[in-house]
Amino acid sequence: MKEIQKGNTKIIIHSDFVLLSEKEKKEWFDSELQKGNPILKEIEAAVNACYQN
């Protein structure tokens, strides 16, 4: 769990993903994309579409 304070708003993240280093996050994304994770494929397509417009 990680807490972030933005003004009067407290954001609580209940995912261990935020505890990973940048290198570990990149390795996880690369691994999941290679496995064909459908959600990441959709996100990847959406990001690519933003750059094409």
Contacts of 28 (CB under 8 A, 6+ apart): 17, 20
Per the listing, tokens 């807490």 go with 3
| Single-letter amino acid code for the residue at 50 | C
pLDDT at 7: 95
Per the listing, tokens 């993240």 go with 13
pLDDT at 53: 65
pLDDT at 1: 87
Tens of pLDDT, residues 1-53: 899 999 999 999 999 899 999 999 999 999 999 999 999 999 999 999 999 86
Phi-psi domain of 36 (left: phi exceeds 0; alpha: psi -120 through 50; beta: other): left
